[in-house]
Chains A and B, each alone.
Chain A
C-alpha cells in the first residue's frame, strides 16, 4: 500500500521540520479522555473501509475496501471525479458516515468501536471544513468560532482570548462581529478554518474546501492550510477534484476511482509517473503531458525522458554529461516547475551520437542521480 519511493522524500523533510515545533504551542488543550496519541508516525489508519447504501433492492457501493495510512504531519490529498466516493470516504474518518465494513483508527483509537459519548469527544480533536462552509448563519463570526470551545466547556474568559487568537491566525480580526452573510466566500472559509482549529485538532479534514472559491481565493486558502500544517503541526486530509490543489500543498496523494483507491504515493512520484489512466487524466489538468508518440522513429539518435527532482533541476547536469562525449542533444519538450516546494523538471531529449557515446551519457546522468528512461 505504501509505495517505497526512490526519489526525493518530501515527506521526511516535512517531518524533520515538525520535530522542532511542539504541538499545541501556547494553545488551549482540553483534556481528552479518548485521545492517547502514542507519538508514532501513523495518525490515521483506514482499514478495509467499505460503505454501501441500500435503496430498496438496489445496493450502491460508494467506497469499496479502501485502506490508507496517513502519517503525522502529512498533507494527504485524495483526488477523484465526483461520484468517486471521496466525499463518503472523508466522512468515514470522523464517522459522519459509519462505514459498512472496516475500521477507522485515529491517533491510536479505533473510532468505530467507540460509544457515542466517547465518539463526540474524539471528534473534538478532528477538525473539519466544508465546501459550503456550513457556518451558523444566525451567529456572528466570533460566536461561530466560539461554538466548538463552548462544546468543549472552556471557561468564558478563555474563550474570548482563544477566539481572538484564532481570528488573528486566519486574518479576520476585523470581522468578528459580522454575520456570515456579510462575508465573501474566502472569508467564510477562513471562519470555517478558525472554527475547525479551535480545539487544537491533530487532524484537519477538508471536504472540497476550495471548490466553491475562485482561483485567487483558492490559492490564499491553500497557503493558509500550508501554514497551519507547518506552524501548528496539524495533519491535513483533504479531498478535491483539482490536481492543482494536490500539486500546491500535498505531499502524499491517493487517487480514487469508482469507490476504490487506484493509486497512492508521494505526490512527486504519482505526478511524474502516473500509472493508471484516471491519474494521467488528473495530471494532464496541470501539466503538459508528453506524448511519446511524436518521438518515435527518429533515426538520428535515441529519445530519452529525464526527470529532475530537487535542487539538481537547476544544475547544468545534462550539458556537462553530454560535453564529456562527442554526442549532441536536442530538447524536444520540457517542463521545469515546482511542486509544493520541490523543484522538478521533465525533459524529453534526443541524444545524437554513437551508441557508445549515448550509452555513456545515459550512464553519467544516472550516476548523478537523475531518473532516465529511453522512450524511443
Chain B
C-alpha cells in the first residue's frame, strides 16, 4: 500500500507539467547545441591548427601570429559567458539579424566555445609524434598533406575527446543562454523552475540536461575507444 502511494505521489508531482513545452525546449537546446557545435568545430579546428603550426619549431613557425592569436584566445576565454553574450549583442545582430531565440544564441556560443576548443586542439596536436611528421616530410609530403593526413589523423582521438568536452561545456552554456531569451531547457529551468517555484519543471529540465551530457560523453568515449590504435 505504502509503495503504491509513493508511486502515486511521484506521478502527481509531474502531473501539471506541460510536456509540449518541455519537448519544445529540448528541441531548442538540441538545435543550439548542434549548430553552435558545428561552427565551433570548424572555427576552433582552424584556429587550433594555426595555433599549433605557428608554434616555435613547427611547420609555419611565426611568432607574431602565434602571440596575437594566443592573446585573443586568452581574452575570450577569460570573459564569463553571460557577460560575453550580452556585450556582443550588436555583433550578434549583424551576423544573424537578431539577438534572441536559438539563432541569436549561436554566435555568442561559438565565440565562447571556439577559443576553448582551439586550445584543446592545440594540445591534441602537440601529442602527435614529431618523428611521424618528419617521416612524412621525408616522403615529400606537402604541408597541407601533412596537416590533413598526418597531424589531424594521428591526433584524431585527442580531437574527438576535445569535441566531447566542448559539447558538454556547450550544454551548460546553452542553459545560461536561456537566461537572456534563447529558449531551450535552460530557459525553462530558469523561468518556470526557479522564478515561478515549479520544482517539477526544474527536476525534469535538469534531468534531461543530465541525460544529454551523459549521452554525449558516452558517445565520445566510445568513439575514442574504437579509434585508438595504441
Contacts and interface: CB of A to CB of B under 8 A. Distances in A.
B208 interface: no
Interface string A109-145: 0000000010111111010101011111111000000
B64 interface: no
B137 A96 contact: yes
B139 interface: yes
A138 B158 CA distance: 12
Contacts of A151: 139-141, 145
B230 A134 contact: no
A218 interface: no
B227 A121 contact: no
A128 B140 CA distance: 11
B138 to A, nearest CB: 4
A134 B141 contact: no
A179 B230 CA distance: 8
A126 B229 CA distance: 29
A183 to B, nearest CB: 12
B154 A94 contact: no
B135 interface: yes
A147 interface: yes
Contacts of B227: 138
A205 B150 CA distance: 21
A120 B153 contact: no
A368 B131 CA distance: 53
Contact of A134 (B129, B140, B145, B156): B129
A111 B144 CA distance: 21
Contacts of A136: 132, 150, 153-154
A102 interface: no
B134 interface: yes
A181 B131 contact: no
A226 to B, nearest CB: 22
A195 B139 CA distance: 9
What is the interface residue range for chain B against chain A? Answer: 20 to 34
Contacts of A120: 140-142
Contact of B138 (A117, A128, A139, A179): A128
Contact of B230 (A124, A133, A137): A137
A343 interface: no
What is the interface residue range for chain A against chain B? Answer: 20 to 34
Contacts of A138: 153-154, 156, 227, 229
Interface in B101-151: 129, 131-132, 134-142, 145, 149-150
Contact of B140 (A121, A180, A195): A121
Contacts, number: 67
A96 B134 contact: yes
A123 B134 contact: no
A60 to B, nearest CB: 16
A199 B141 CA distance: 13
Contacts of A179: 229
A137 B140 contact: no
Nearest to A180: B229
A103 B82 CA distance: 59
Contacts of B139: 123-124, 128, 147-148, 151, 195, 199
Nearest to B136: A147
A19 B134 CA distance: 34
B138 A181 contact: no
A138 B151 CA distance: 11
The CB with the most chain B CB atoms within 10 A, among A128, A133, A136, A181, is that of A136
Interface string B157-197: 00000000000000000000000000000000000000000
A195 B135 CA distance: 10
A364 B154 CA distance: 67
A205 B134 CA distance: 13
Interface in A5-29: none
Nearest to A129: B135
Contact of A128 (B132, B135, B154, B230): B135
Top 7 nearest A-B pairs by Cβ distance? Answer: A123-B140, A134-B135, A134-B131, A124-B140, A120-B140, A128-B138, A179-B229
Interface of B: 129, 131-132, 134-142, 145, 149-150, 153-154, 156, 227, 229-230
26 contacts: A96-B134, A96-B137, A96-B138, A117-B142, A121-B140, A123-B138, A126-B138, A128-B135, A128-B138, A130-B131, A130-B135, A132-B131, A134-B132, A134-B135, A135-B132, A135-B135, A137-B129, A137-B230, A138-B154, A138-B227, A147-B136, A147-B149, A151-B140, A151-B141, A180-B229, A181-B229
